[in-house]
Amino acid sequence: MAGAPDPTLAVTVDARVVCTHELGKVALVNSQQWVRISELPVLIEPDPEGRSISGCPNFSIGIKPCLHTLSVRVGYSSFVRIDGHPVVRSILAGFTDGTPPGVIQYVVRDPAQPFVRVGS
């Protein structure tokens, strides 16, 4: 399992965001086009929320795999905004809809850029 990235990095649309089962990949979609890092759009609120997750290995009888992201618990900058929306930081975390409820999270493993840091 790879370690967490620098928690202050801005997250782009090509980031690797996974459920904590590590194989479930979040399908990220950006809602803004004009702020980019290395040609990749930066994610803002609510880009990581309500996204599909594919490949989660956690399933069996009575066990639901992670299929969608829920609301962000931590990871929006309170300082840096784009068009009034907070920028997503690499400390991003929120729960998935997998079982058990309120336990399995989605997190950033690679923000897809090592250059731009964002204040809390």
* Residue 106 domain-assigned (yes or no): yes
> How would you label 48-77 residue by residue, b for 16+ Cβ within 10 Å and e otherwise?
beebebeebebeeeeebbbeebbebeebbb
Is the pTM value of this prediction over 0.85? Answer: yes
Range of the domain at 65: 16-110
Assess if residue 93 is contained within a domain: yes
Residue 64 resides in a domain = yes
Q: What distance in Å separates the CA atoms of residue 29 and residue 44, rounded to the nearest whole number?
A: 10
Q: For 48-105, what is each residue's pLDDT tens digit?
A: 999 999 999 999 998 999 999 999 999 999 999 999 999 999 999 999 999 999 999 9
- pLDDT category at 1 given cuts 50, 70, 90 is very low
Tell whether 5 is covered by a domain.
Answer: no
Per residue in 6-63, pLDDT (tens digit) is 999 999 999 999 999 999 999 999 999 999 999 999 999 999 999 999 999 999 998 9
Structural domain total, the chain: 1
